[in-house]
């Protein structure tokens, strides 16, 4: 088994075996770039070592052979009296873990060779500087001596001499520092700094192997989900020196700007410096463009290499280089890390330049980059300096600061007065909608990811944190308590909807995003994707946003959201609470006028596209008055006594509203509500058709469990529609379908299919009813399930494939063979979850529908799955 590869032997495909750094050093050697010579010990050898806890003799033998070869090729020798060989020992695993593991430079120096080196290079300043660095790095990496002990000694020395920078240090100074470092080493380690280069080498190799398991590397892997079983390779490479004087230097550069994606070499360098100096922050590096003036020939050569490497790797590169006495060496290249914005810019630019295909450009983007691009984020530095006071569920991404208000009306007033407001509530209800619309962010102390606040906020693309149970909110007193402090009305608060964290005070936003690019990528994505993505939307702004992002229709327009305004909810209440048929009819007429206007708007915005409108769904109690005042209002409006109306309210009260009188059940009792709605839809549609527009209304009936419910309602609705057609002497095509959100409906979908023309899975309710987990209460116990490993994640966010998924598959299997023309969609939250979407595509859904602001990530995911 081969455990060591010369740089001339490997290639960039061997990242598993040689690590990213080693594979790329080999690749660059192969394409003839000026890379200092060296070899790579494999990750397999590392794993062997971590297993056996010692260097195997076979490995030692191979390393010896490669050292001999390196000595031959460079004409230098370890511990040579004439020409000592110095090397670096560099860690490097499959995935780059910047700064997580260790590297030692200048290995091979000792008390004697440093003198030879000083004489030979005629540069004692440089030689002693190299040696002190070796003692310091070796002490740190191999023996675990705190780097700062060395740094402090150096700082003290410089201060005593009145030096302000390392540049002022003379040979004698460095010699003195070498002396001090040797003493520190002896004191901290309890033995002398090893003088034998081979001993140094093997100790360094072992230390790099071991560093695979150092705590910061382990943590980094946890965070980035990198396997612990990969191991690190070790690269041993002839040293080149950037610190021999003003004609030398070192630097790091990206082939494009990693923050913005702009083309052009972007980086920093330092003259007379070694390795880490550029990133260490001891001296301030200079922009790479200045190298053009200092060393024009080198700069041109470097720029050429940047282009060459980018073309070779077909991606933006992050390159380390060193200049030794006017000669350029490349020490590392890798695909550069970049911001979401840069990722978009680079991927699209490269696709348009024909360097990569559009499909390839899709693969380089991730849903989380889209989230970052779409939503404002806090200024990174200010965020790092802020301490969060509470954490809830990240219900809707984004970031916002504003003044706290506890009531929707107060929020509206403050907003009207020009303030930025944060709505803080125990939970929200339909009446809060106007306050929610004007808020920068919404925070609730109760409720889960599918609570009212969460769903509405996501729909509007407003930042939202829910279930923030640490906060005790007293709406009456207009106060909240975070466990240590009180938050009062008008206080400044900052909310991060991406992490769920809440901060006191204001945090500035980093607003630099570019939607044009996103839209371009989404156009490509919808061409490549082979499943449709629609949006759950009913307001003008939401529908506009969804279509702009590339949604191919509306999969769920919720009509109840249209009753949430003050005026409309009063009519709703009148309708339910007045016993009187005449009054109900009258209220319905008023509501119809509202609805017709809404539908005309929706249908005209979605001209030519399918538009699924769901008839009234929510439980009765959501429409009921909550306060005495509200009861009085209704009583007033109905011309009834308050007592009568309150009694009506009592009569309608339910023990378990979510399982009670809601959805199509309400329409079984009061068919006139759905009849009014279809009348409004059809009248709006006909009027649009008369003006030459094309509309495709799909009327969806919620909460169906039994075939006869559907046949009964469908008949009633068709009769009504027939009347509308007769009145207008005109007909249009439309569909009537059902939501599949009750397990029974899935299990009897073949029977429903005799009446339904389409189906849409409502995965929120379907999950609630399949698990028996209340959507609104599960936030109280689901975290424990996840902590204890009983559930992997929240089934309301990521589809439960085994349970809910299998019900969906059952329904599809019962229907599709006989009714090819019946389409299946999903309109629950999981339709917007990239992780669930691939499953949904596999089981044969025709489309998924999600909040407008999730359409982009889903379009991208679908495109990626279709490649
Ligand atoms: P990291 O993975 O932390 O970047 P590296 O192994 O790349 O660690 O090395 C740290 C620094 O030392 C880099 O700036 C690198 O360019 C420099 N370096 C590594 N090997 C050599 C060498 N043989 N000659 C000169 N500089 C080197
Ligand atoms: Mg590096
Ligand atoms: Mg539902």
Query: In sequence order, which residues have a C-beta less than 8 Å from that of residue 599 and are 6 or more positions away?
Result: 613, 680, 681, 684, 685
- Candidates 130, 464, 746, 827; catalytic one: 827
Q: Which atom of ligand 1 lies nearest, measured to the CA of 331?
A: 16
Using alpha carbons, select from 18, 6, 60, 25 the residue that is nearest to residue 43: 18
Confidence of residue 99 (pLDDT cuts 50, 70, 90): low
What's the pLDDT score for residue 240?
A: 95
What's the pLDDT score for residue 730?
A: 95
How many Å lie between the centroid of ligand 1 and the Cα of residue 332?
8
Residue 295 has pLDDT above 70, yes or no: yes
Q: Which ligand is nearest to the CA of 101?
A: 1
How many Å lie between the centroid of ligand 2 and the Cα of residue 27?
16
Q: Which long-range contacts (CB under 8 A, 24 or more apart) does 809-815 make?
A: 809/843, 810/746, 810/747, 810/749, 811/740, 811/745, 811/746, 811/747, 811/749, 811/759, 811/761, 812/749, 812/843, 812/844, 812/845, 814/748, 814/749, 814/750, 814/753, 815/749, 815/750, 815/753, 815/759
How far is Cα 209 from Cα 815, in angstroms, rounded to an integer? Answer: 58
What does the block give as tokens for 472?
């005790």
Say if residues 797 and 829 touch (Cβ distance below 8 Å): yes
Range list of β-strands (E), 172-244:
232-238
Q: How far apart are the first and last CA of the chain?
A: 38
Confidence of residue 786 (pLDDT cuts 50, 70, 90): confident
Range list of β-strands (E), 702-855:
735-740, 758-761, 823-826, 847-850
How many Å lie between the centroid of ligand 3 and the Cα of residue 783?
23
Flag the least confident range among 240-244, 558-562, 820-824: 558-562
By most ligand atoms within 8 Å of CB, the mutation choice from 207, 279, 325, 332 for ligand 1 is: 332
Mean pLDDT of the 403-418 span: 93
Q: What does the pLDDT look like over 430-485, one tens digit per residue?
A: 778 888 989 999 999 988 877 788 878 877 778 999 989 899 999 999 999 998 89
How far is Cα 626 from Cα 635, in angstroms, rounded to an integer? Answer: 13
How many Å lie between the centroid of ligand 1 and the Cα of residue 633?
75
Q: Which ligand is nearest to the CA of 236?
A: 1
How many Å lie between the centroid of ligand 2 and the Cα of residue 282?
18
How many Å lie between the centroid of ligand 2 and the Cα of residue 234?
13
Q: Which atom of ligand 1 lies nearest, measured to the CA of 38?
A: 23
Using alpha carbons, select from 423, 415, 427 the residue that is nearest to residue 626: 427
Q: Where are the alpha helices (DSSP H) in 250-339?
A: 277-280, 291-294, 296-313
- Higher-scoring residue by pLDDT: 194, 245: 194
Q: Which ligand is nearest to the CA of 234?
A: 1
Ligand 1 site, CB within 6 A = 36, 88, 90, 99, 103, 105, 237-240, 275-276, 320, 322, 331-332
By most ligand atoms within 8 Å of CB, the mutation choice from 331, 333, 336, 337 for ligand 1 is: 331
How far is Cα 62 from Cα 92, in angstroms, rounded to an integer? Answer: 19
Mean pLDDT of the 307-318 span: 96
Say if residues 197 and 108 touch (Cβ distance below 8 Å): yes
Q: What percent of the chain stands above pLDDT 90?
A: 71
How far is Cα 406 from Cα 292, in angstroms, rounded to an integer? Answer: 59
Say if residues 390 and 468 touch (Cβ distance below 8 Å): yes
Return the residue whose CA atom lies nearest to atom 17 of ligand 1.
275
Task: Provide the pairing of β-strand 87-93 with 38-41.
Answer: unpaired
Mean pLDDT of the 307-313 span: 97
Residue 282 has pLDDT above 70, yes or no: no
By most ligand atoms within 8 Å of CB, the mutation choice from 7, 19, 34, 90 for ligand 1 is: 90
Sheet holding 501-504, edge to edge: 388-391, 501-504, 492-496, 399-405, 421-425, 441-444, 463-466, 393-396
Q: DSSP string covering 315-360, please?
A: S-EEEEEEEETTEEEEEEEEEPP--HHHHHHHHHHHHHTTSS-HHH
How many Å lie between the centroid of ligand 2 and the Cα of residue 333?
8
- What is the phi-psi region of residue 326: left when phi exceeds 0, alpha when psi lies from -120 to 50, beta otherwise? left
Say if residues 552 and 534 touch (Cβ distance below 8 Å): yes
Return the residue whose CA atom lies nearest to atom 6 of ligand 1.
90
Confidence of residue 584 (pLDDT cuts 50, 70, 90): confident
Going from the C-alpha of 377 to that of each of 238, 393, 399, 517, 850, the distances in angstroms are 44, 17, 5, 18, 22
How far is Cα 570 from Cα 566, in angstroms, rounded to an integer? Answer: 6
Q: Which atom of ligand 1 lies nearest, measured to the CA of 90?
A: 6
Going from the C-alpha of 625 to that of each of 430, 440, 631, 707, 741, the distances in angstroms are 11, 27, 6, 33, 28
Return the residue whose CA atom lies nearest to atom 20 of ligand 1.
88
Q: What percent of the chain stands above pLDDT 70?
A: 98
Q: DSSP string covering 579-638, please?
A: --HHHHHHHHHHHHHHHHHHHHHHHHHTTTSEEEEEPP-S-GGGGS--SHHHHHHHHHHH
Q: Which ligand is nearest to the CA of 703?
A: 3
Q: Which atom of ligand 1 lies nearest, measured to the CA of 242?
A: 25
Q: What does the pLDDT look like over 524-543, one tens digit per residue?
A: 999 999 999 999 999 898 99
Confidence of residue 239 (pLDDT cuts 50, 70, 90): very high
By most ligand atoms within 8 Å of CB, the mutation choice from 87, 103, 104, 336 for ligand 1 is: 103
How many Å lie between the centroid of ligand 2 and the Cα of residue 467?
43
Consult the annotation and say whether 744 binds a ligand. Answer: no
Interface predicted TM-score (ipTM): 0.96
151 sits in which H/E element: helix 147-161
Using alpha carbons, select from 288, 287, 264 the residue that is nearest to residue 345: 264
Consult the annotation and say whether 765 binds a ligand. Answer: yes
Q: Which atom of ligand 1 lies nearest, measured to the CA of 241?
A: 25
How many Å lie between the centroid of ligand 3 and the Cα of residue 762?
6
How many Å lie between the centroid of ligand 1 and the Cα of residue 331?
7
- Candidates 46, 452, 463, 746; catalytic one: 452
How many Å lie between the centroid of ligand 1 and the Cα of residue 103?
7
How far is Cα 457 from Cα 375, in angstroms, rounded to an integer? Answer: 13
Question: 693-721 burial, b for 16+ CB within 10 Å, e for fewer?
Answer: eebbbbbbbbbbbebebbebbbebbeebb
Consult the annotation and say whether 762 binds a ligand. Answer: yes
Confidence of residue 164 (pLDDT cuts 50, 70, 90): confident
How many Å lie between the centroid of ligand 2 and the Cα of residue 404?
47
Consult the annotation and say whether 64 binds a ligand. Answer: no
Sheet holding 472-474, edge to edge: 472-474, 479-481, 486-488
827 catalytic residue (yes or no): yes
The protein residues having their C-beta less than 5 angstroms from ligand 3 (an ion) are 741, 762, 765
Q: Which atom of ligand 1 lies nearest, measured to the CA of 252?
A: 14
Q: How high does pLDDT run on average in the chain?
A: 92
Residue 512 has pLDDT above 70, yes or no: no
Q: Which atom of ligand 1 lies nearest, measured to the CA of 87?
A: 23
Q: Which atom of ligand 1 lies nearest, measured to the CA of 92?
A: 2
How far is Cα 669 from Cα 648, in angstroms, rounded to an integer? Answer: 16
Helix (H, G, I), strand (E, B) or coil at 54: coil
Q: What does the pLDDT look like over 605-656, one tens digit per residue?
A: 999 999 999 999 988 888 889 889 999 999 998 888 999 899 988 988 999 9
By most ligand atoms within 8 Å of CB, the mutation choice from 35, 88, 318, 336 for ligand 1 is: 88
What does the block give as tokens for 324?
């030794």
Consult the annotation and say whether 228 binds a ligand. Answer: no
By most ligand atoms within 8 Å of CB, the mutation choice from 102, 235, 275, 337 for ligand 1 is: 275
Consult the annotation and say whether 558 binds a ligand. Answer: yes
Using alpha carbons, select from 335, 320, 327, 326 the residue that is nearest to residue 278: 320
Q: What does the pLDDT look like over 270-279, one tens digit per residue?
A: 998 887 776 5
Mean pLDDT of the 111-139 span: 92
For the beta carbon of residue 418, count every other beta carbon within 10 angstroms.
6
Mean pLDDT of the 319-326 span: 95
Return the residue whose CA atom lies nearest to atom 12 of ligand 1.
275
Q: Which ligand is nearest to the CA of 269?
A: 1
Consult the annotation and say whether 648 binds a ligand. Answer: no
Most confident of 479-493, 743-757, 774-788: 743-757
Q: Which ligand is nearest to the CA of 536?
A: 3
Return the residue whose CA atom lies nearest to atom 13 of ligand 1.
275
What's the pLDDT score for residue 132?
A: 95
How far is Cα 511 from Cα 378, in angstroms, rounded to an integer? Answer: 8
């Amino acid at each position: 088994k081969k455990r060591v590869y010369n740089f001339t032997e490997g290639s960039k495909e061997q990242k598993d075996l040689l690590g990213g750094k080693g594979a790329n050093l080999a690749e660059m050697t192969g394409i003839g770039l000026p890379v200092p010579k060296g070899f790579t010990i494999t990750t397999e050898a590392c794993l062997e070592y971590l297993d056996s806890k010692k260097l195997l003799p076979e490995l030692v033998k191979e390393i010896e052979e490669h050292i001999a070869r390196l000595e031959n090729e460079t004409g230098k020798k370890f511990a040579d009296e004439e020409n000592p060989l110095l090397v670096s020992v560099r860690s490097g695993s499959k995935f780059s873990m910047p700064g997580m593991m260790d590297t030692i430079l200048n290995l091979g120096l000792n008390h004697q060779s440093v003198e030879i080196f000083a004489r030979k290079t005629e540069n004692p300043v440089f030689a002693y500087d190299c040696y002190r660095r070796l003692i310091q790095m070796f002490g740190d990496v191999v023996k675990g001596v705190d780097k700062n002990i060395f740094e402090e000694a150096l700082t003290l020395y410089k201060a005593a001499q009145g030096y302000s920078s390392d540049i002022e240090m003379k040979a004698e100074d460095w010699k003195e520092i070498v002396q001090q470092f040797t003493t520190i080493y002896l004191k901290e380690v309890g033995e002398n700094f090893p003088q034998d280069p081979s001993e140094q080498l093997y100790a360094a190799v072992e230390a790099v192997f071991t560093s695979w398991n150092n705590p910061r590397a382990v943590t980094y892997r946890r965070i980035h989900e990198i396997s612990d079983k990969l191991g690190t390779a070790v690269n041993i490479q002839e040293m080149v020196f950037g610190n021999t004087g003003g004609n030398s230097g070192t630097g790091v550069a990206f082939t494009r700007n990693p923050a913005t994606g702009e083309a052009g070499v972007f980086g920093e360098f330092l003259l007379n410096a070694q390795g880490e100096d550029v990133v260490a922050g001891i001296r301030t590096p200079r922009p790479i463009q200045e190298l053009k003036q200092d060393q024009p020939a080198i700069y041109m050569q470097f720029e050429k290499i940047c282009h060459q490497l980018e073309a070779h790797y077909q991606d933006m590169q992050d390159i380390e280089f060193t200049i030794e006495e006017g000669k350029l060496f490349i020490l590392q290249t890798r695909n550069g890390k970049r911001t979401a914005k840069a990722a978009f810019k680079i991927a699209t630019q490269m696709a348009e330049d024909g360097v990569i295909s559009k499909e390839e450009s899709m693969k380089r983007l991730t849903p989380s980059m889209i989230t970052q691009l779409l939503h404002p984020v806090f200024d990174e530095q200010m965020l790092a300096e802020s301490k969060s006071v509470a954490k809830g569920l990240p219900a809707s991404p984004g970031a916002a600061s504003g003044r706290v208000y506890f009531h929707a009306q107060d929020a509206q007033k403050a907003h009207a007065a020009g303030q930025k407001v944060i709505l803080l509530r125990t939970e929200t209800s339909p009446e809060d909608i106007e306050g929610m619309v004007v808020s920068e962010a919404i925070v609730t102390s109760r409720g889960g990811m599918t609570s009212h606040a969460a769903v509405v906020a996501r729909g509007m693309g407003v930042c939202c944190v829910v279930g923030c149970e640490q906060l005790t909110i007293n709406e009456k007193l207009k106060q909240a308590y975070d466990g240590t402090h009180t938050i009062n009305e008008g206080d400044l608060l900052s909310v991060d909807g991406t992490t769920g964290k809440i901060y006191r005070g204001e945090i500035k936003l980093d607003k630099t995003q570019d939607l044009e690019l996103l839209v371009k990528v989404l156009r490509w994505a919808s061409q490549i994707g082979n499943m449709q993505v629609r949006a759950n939307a009913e307001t003008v702004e939401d529908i506009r946003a969804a279509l702009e992002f590339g949604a191919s229709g509306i999969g769920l327009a919720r009509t109840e959201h249209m009753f949430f305004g003050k005026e409309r909810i009063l009519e709703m209440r009148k309708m339910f609470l007045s016993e009187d048929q005449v009054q109900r009819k009258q209220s319905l007429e008023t509501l119809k006028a509202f609805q017709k206007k809404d539908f005309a708007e929706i249908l005209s915005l979605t001209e030519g596209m399918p538009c699924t409108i769901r008839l009234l769904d929510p439980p009765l109690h959501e429409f009921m008055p909550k306060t005495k005042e509200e009861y009085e209002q209704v009583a007033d409006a109905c011309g009834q006594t308050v007592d009568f109306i309150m009694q009506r309210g009592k009569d309608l009260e339910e023990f378990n509203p979510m399982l009670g009188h809601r959805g199509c059940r309400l329409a079984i009792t009061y068919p006139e509500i759905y009849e009014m709605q279809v009348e409004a839809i059809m009248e709006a549609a006909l009027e649009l058709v008369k003006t030459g527009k094309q509309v495709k209304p799909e009327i969806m009936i919620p909460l169906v469990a039994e075939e006869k419910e559907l046949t009964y309602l469908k008949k009633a609705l068709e009769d009504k529609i027939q009347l509308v057609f007769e009145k207008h002497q005109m007909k249009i095509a439309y569909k009537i379908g059902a939501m599949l959100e009750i397990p029974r409906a899935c299990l009897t979908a073949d029977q429903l299919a005799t009446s339904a023309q389409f189906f849409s899975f409502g995965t929120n309710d379907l999950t609630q009813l399949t698990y028996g987990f209340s959507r609104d209460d599960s936030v109280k116990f689901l975290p424990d399930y996840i902590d204890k490993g009983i559930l992997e994640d929240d089934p309301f966010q990521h589809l439960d494939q085994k349970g809910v998924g299998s019900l969906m598959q059952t329904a599809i299997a019962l229907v599709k063979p006989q009714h090819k023309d019946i389409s299946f969609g999903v309109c629950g939250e999981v339709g917007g979850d990239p992780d669930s979407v691939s499953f949904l595509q596999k089981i044969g859904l025709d489309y998924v529908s999600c909040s407008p602001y999730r359409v982009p990530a889903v379009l991208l995911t679908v495109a990626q799955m279709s490649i």
